[in-house]
Amino acid sequence: MGIDVHQHLWTGSFVEALRARTSPPYLDGWTLILDGEPPYEVDPADHASRDTTGLELALVSLSSPLGVESLPPEESWPLIDAYHEGALGLGRPFGAWAATCHSEPDPGRLAEDLDRGFAGLQIPATAEPDDRLLDVLTSRDLPLFVHPGPARAVPGTPAWWPALVPYVQQMHASWHYFHAVVRPRHPRLRVCFALLAGLAPLHSERLIARGGGGRGQVDTGFFVETSSYGPRAIDAIVRELGVDVVVNGSDAPYATAPDPGLGEAAAHAIRVTNPRRLLGREEFRK
């Protein structure tokens, strides 16, 4: 039985909260309206049910590209609360990442939410990490999940553009920012970066050539998840970082979990051992 650290599932409470709004982000029926983007037709079947065969745990998270976390608190919190209520009610094998408001951070409220049973906190890669929020995580020995945030539409570009350009750029920047700025301030924080951190780890040679350092020094508290990549990219990351910091993620319902293509031992590490270590599950607290 494996773990999937990256899924999205819009529960009824979250859908109703989006429909109650009249400014982006909001739902008009099943038409999603975002600021600066064309209307998007959501398939309700994507959020009606989910095949979790073979999973001991499937972690859902707020869809950060909606921009909910960056709204003013009076707009952000009703959506976040609706997401939290729905996610906590999903039942096994589902778990969830907490979300929080970044326009006016509230460490006390985050602490209360985490204590309800969330696996950790997800933040958008576009949000500047707030030390007070990260301190709440480390005080509870819970991890952080960094996910792509909002991306402005570029006229004339195909539908895949956000996933291939701004999302990757955001994750690339986040990986380097956390290494250079956040890690010295939070040495015990465990962090998981979505979509293999935009393949940022593969730029270590350029980093060294431009005055950076650290190649060959793997931070075992910084994990990368595999969504929307396959054996070639995963193999390259494993060669750079080793297999111990790679974790399984699907980004369902938008994609499926990839086959690492590295053999049974590596597959078990990526799907079972490493996610458990990221999440601090009991097997790794002894």
3-state SS string for 211-225: CCCCCCCCCCCEEEE
Express the helix, strand and coil content of the chain in percent, nearest 5 each.
45, 15, 40
Judge whether 200 lies within some domain.
Answer: yes
Residue 48: pLDDT band by 50, 70, 90 thresholds?
confident
- Per residue in 59-113, pLDDT (tens digit) is 999 999 999 999 999 999 999 999 999 999 999 999 999 999 999 999 999 999 9
Give the pLDDT of residue 285.
37
- Domain boundaries, position 185: 2-281
Give the pLDDT of residue 205.
85
Greater model confidence, 85 or 48: 85
Judge whether 286 lies within some domain.
Answer: no
Q: What is the mean pLDDT of residues 48-58?
A: 91
Q: What is the mean pLDDT of residues 166-182?
A: 97
Q: How many CA atoms lie within 13 A of 37 on its CB side?
A: 23
User: Distance between terminal CA atoms of the chain?
Assistant: 21
Assess whether pLDDT exceeds 50 at residue 224: yes
66 within 8 A of 34, measured Cβ to Cβ: yes
Assess whether pLDDT exceeds 70 at residue 198: yes
Give the pLDDT of residue 184.
96
Tokens of 124: 């958008």
Q: What is the mean pLDDT of residues 173-197?
A: 98
Residue 214: pLDDT band by 50, 70, 90 thresholds?
low
Judge whether 181 lies within some domain.
Answer: yes
Residue 215: pLDDT band by 50, 70, 90 thresholds?
low
- Per residue in 246-283, pLDDT (tens digit) is 999 999 999 999 888 899 999 999 999 999 999 997 54
164 within 8 A of 108, measured Cβ to Cβ: no
Query: What is the tally of structural domains in the chain?
Result: 1
Assess whether pLDDT exceeds 70 at residue 170: yes
Rounded Cα–Cα distance for residues 117 and 98 (Å): 9
Percent of residues, the chain, with pLDDT higher than 90: 85
Assess whether pLDDT exceeds 50 at residue 286: no
Residue 216: pLDDT band by 50, 70, 90 thresholds?
low
Judge whether 168 lies within some domain.
Answer: yes
- Per residue in 132-152, pLDDT (tens digit) is 999 999 999 999 999 999 998
CA distances from 74 to 26, 114, 148, 259, 285 (A): 15, 20, 23, 42, 38
134 within 8 A of 105, measured Cβ to Cβ: no
The neighbouring-strand residues paired with 58 are: 4, 94
How does the average pLDDT of the chain come out, rounded? Answer: 94
Give the pLDDT of residue 123.
99
Give the pLDDT of residue 145.
99
Residue 98 maps to which CATH number? 3.20.20.140
